[in-house]
């Protein structure tokens, strides 16, 4: 579905909100749902204390492994203090970006996860920053809080103006990498985005990840459109995927999801 440029922000929100909770049996074709069953994909239920704690533990253990900016924000203190600080920052991310939109996906019994947000939710308002500031100061100090907001605002400014899905994070437990779990978490949202003629957008923190996302149709923004982060973030580059750049046909999905001999059934 094409959303005309003249539509109001409220209209865009209404259309994209209907897609924040993708039903694997209702919103996807049977052939795609059948291919995703063995990966055990579902939305994370943050109303469940056990599932919420498990998600936070996974984020702290896996999401930040190669996150140079996160390491910069929490580089002070003992290892235990840094671990608590990382968990608090993840909690803020969940509270203000992920949980309100229901776009936290998991696979393999929570051993792989992806956070998606729609374009209408991209702006971190002044009010949100004011609410988050006291909590952030307690965790990382006043200076780091404002540096963090500066980087976040630059990232948001680089996102496209047209309706799109933003991949906040994608991570797979290192012990399960190579089993196409990350691909399984990308494919359903990419398929829906193609049907709606929406772009997808992300940042990578490791140059080696370019080839991985290129397989799905992502490409770097032109250099003049890349935000300048300075020395705080050694490598953060924006990538965008235009609708249909790599069509999610059955043949392409089979190529992306075909498991190696170590693949397990997580359904």
Residue 265 lies in a domain: no
Which tokens sit at 122? Answer: 């991209």
Residue 37 lies in a domain: yes
Lowest mean pLDDT among 74-83, 111-120, 242-251: 74-83
pLDDT tier at 260, thresholds 50, 70, 90: very low
Percentage, residues of the chain above pLDDT 70:
67
pLDDT tier at 12, thresholds 50, 70, 90: very low
What does the pLDDT look like over 211-251, one tens digit per residue? 999 999 999 999 999 988 776 666 789 999 999 999 999 99
Task: Let me know: does 167 contact 118? Beta carbons within 8 Å.
Answer: no
Residue 1 lies in a domain: no
Q: What does pLDDT average to over the chain?
A: 75
Position 60 scores a pLDDT of: 61
Domain CATH code at residue 138: 3.40.630.30
Residues 6 or more apart in contact with residue 137 via CB below 8 angstroms: 145
DSSP one-letter code for 48: S
User: Number of structural domains, the chain?
Assistant: 1
Residue 33 lies in a domain: yes
Strands of the 104-107 sheet, one edge to the other: 42-43, 104-107, 112-118, 164-172, 199-204, 237-241, 219-220
Q: Whole domain around residue 183: which residue ranges?
A: 9-257
What does the pLDDT look like over 172-214, one tens digit per residue? 888 888 888 999 999 988 998 999 899 999 998 888 889 999 9
Residue 250 lies in a domain: yes
Write out the H or E segment, with its range, that includes residue 165. Answer: strand 164-172
Residue 267 lies in a domain: no
Residues 6 or more apart in contact with residue 252 via CB below 8 angstroms: 246
């Amino acid at each position: 579905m094409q959303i005309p440029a003249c539509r109001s922000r409220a209209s865009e929100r209404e259309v994209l909100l209907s897609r924040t909770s993708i039903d694997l049996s209702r919103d996807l074709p049977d052939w795609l749902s059948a291919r995703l069953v063995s990966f055990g994909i579902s939305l994370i239920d943050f109303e469940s204390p056990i599932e919420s704690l498990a998600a936070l533990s996974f984020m702290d253990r896996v999401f930040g492994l190669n996150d140079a900016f996160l390491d910069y924000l929490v580089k002070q203190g003992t290892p235990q203090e840094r671990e608590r600080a990382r968990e608090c920052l993840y909690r803020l991310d969940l509270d203000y970006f992920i949980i309100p939109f229901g776009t936290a996906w998991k696979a393999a019994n929570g051993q792989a996860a992806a956070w998606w947000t729609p374009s209408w939710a991209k702006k971190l308002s002044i009010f949100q920053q004011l609410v988050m500031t006291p909590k952030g100061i307690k965790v990382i100090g006043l200076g780091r809080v404002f540096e963090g907001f500066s980087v976040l605002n630059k990232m948001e400014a680089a996102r496209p103006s047209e309706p799109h899905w933003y991949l906040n994070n994608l991570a797979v437990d290192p012990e399960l990498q190579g089993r196409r779990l990350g691909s399984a978490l990308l494919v359903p949202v990419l398929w829906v985005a193609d049907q709606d003629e929406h772009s997808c957008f992300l940042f990578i923190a490791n140059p080696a990840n370019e080839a991985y996302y290129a397989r799905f149709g992502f490409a770097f923004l032109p250099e003049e459109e890349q935000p300048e982060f300075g020395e705080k973030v050694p490598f953060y580059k924006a990538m965008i995927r235009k609708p249909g750049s790599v069509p999610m046909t059955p043949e392409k999905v089979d190529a992306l999801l075909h498991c190696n001999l170590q693949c397990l059934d997580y359904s």
